[in-house]
Each structure stands twice: as C-alpha cells, then as structure tokens.
Amino acid sequence: MRTLFSSSTNKSKPARNVRKVASSKDSTKKAFKSSRKKSNIDIEKSTVSFFEYWEDERVRSTIGLLTLGTAIFLLLSSVSAIFTGVYDIILIKAETPTLPAHNLGGKLGALVGHYLVRGTFGFGFLAVPFILTLLGWKALTGRILLPIWKSISWSLLAMITLPWITAFFFHEAMDESLEINLFVGDHIVGLGSVYLLKLTLMYFGHLGTGILISVFALIT
C-alpha cells in the first residue's frame, strides 16, 4: 500500500510542474507581445506628433527665418571674400586678435570666406546661399520660387563647373609639371577647382580638358 501511494504521488507531481512552466511561458509571451505593441504604438505616436509639430505655422516660420538669415550671412561673407580674400588669410593666420576684419561678415565671415569659399570652389559657393534661400522661402511662405530639385541640381553642377572652367582659361602650366600658375586669386576660383583642374590636365591634357569643357557647355 505504501509503495502504491508513493508512486502515485510521484507521478502526479511532474504534471503540476509542467503546467506551471507552461503557464509561465504563456505569460512571458503575452508580456512580450504587449510590450511590442506598446513600442509600436509609441513609434506611431512620435511620428504623428512630429508631422503635427511641423504643421505648426510658427515652427515653419521660425525655421524659414533662420534659413533665410543664414543664406544672407553666407551671401555677404562669400561676396566679400571674393574681394577681400587676402585680408581674410592675414586675419586668420595672424597671432594677434586685434586685427580688424575686412569681411562684411566680420571675423566669422572671414572664416567662412577662407574655409568655405577659398577652400572649396570659390565663387561657386554662392550656390549654397541660393539653395538655402529657396528652402527658407518655401518654409516661411509655403510658396515655391523655382522648382526646388531642379534648381538644386543645376546649382550644384554650376558650383563645380563654372570655377573649374574659369581656372582653365586663366591658368598657365609651369614646365609640363602639375604645378599651375593662376592669373586670378585662388579665393575666386577656390582650391577645389584648382585641384580638379590639375586632375583633368594630368589625365586628359589641355586638349582633352578643352573637350570636356565644351561638352559641359553644351549640356548646360
């Protein structure tokens, strides 16, 4: 009798444990599913709130004004750097901070002229404030001055090609080497255009570079 009773009790105990484990697994699955649903709901709420936040006219007007202000500052600094690029270099490389800034944008404008105008594509950098003006005006008023994507693509193309073409027509090769002598300041055409001109002269020569310029002129 004792053996029968003990065996029956031993057989019934594992069944209870299995039920407990199964119920715990079900509860964890339900908790995981509920957490996933909550996270998805939170993502949807954040996405909707972002678009609702952008639909606020005050937000769009603020962003538009900041973009237009940045465009005006970059325009003044870039145009001034074309004429006062030498003074910008002296101001940046000088050890005394008492030198006056000749750039219309002040010392910050001198930094913009030295690194963003002279260091890239010279007067081609004027495409950046032009693009910012289009975007800022769209955000501020909701109106489109020009087709935005076409204007951006053509502006970026002109930013690279026009200073490069200018450097090609106003340069002098020095003894068949990669060094060239520009008849215009590097703050006008930019160091990026000079580097691009050296590459085209090295791989295509003067004749090939002239043909490339003709092709770009026909495309534009």
- Determine which of 50-59, 194-203, 208-217 has the lowest per-residue pLDDT on average: 50-59
Residues 162-181, mean pLDDT to the nearest whole number: 80
Residues 188-217, mean pLDDT to the nearest whole number: 88
Nearest to 109, CA basis, from 82, 73, 159: 73
**pLDDT at residue 58 in the model:** 85
pTM flag (> 0.85): no
Nearest to 133, CA basis, from 183, 70, 81: 70
Helix (H, G, I), strand (E, B) or coil at 184: coil
**pLDDT at residue 181 in the model:** 81
Query: Measured between alpha carbons, how far is 217 from 76 in angstroms, rounded to an integer?
Result: 28
Q: Which residues contact 196 (CB under 8 A, 6 or more apart)?
A: 160, 164
Radius of gyration of the chain (CA): 33
Which amino acid is present at 38? K
Band (pLDDT 50/70/90 cuts) for residue 215 is confident
Residues 155-167, mean pLDDT to the nearest whole number: 92
**pLDDT at residue 151 in the model:** 93
- The segment with the largest mean pLDDT, out of 16-20, 74-78, 173-177, 215-219, is 74-78
In 10 A of CB 173, how many CB atoms? 12
Beta bridge partners of 171: 182
Query: Measured between alpha carbons, how far is 138 from 146 in angstroms, rounded to an integer?
Result: 10
**pLDDT at residue 111 in the model:** 92
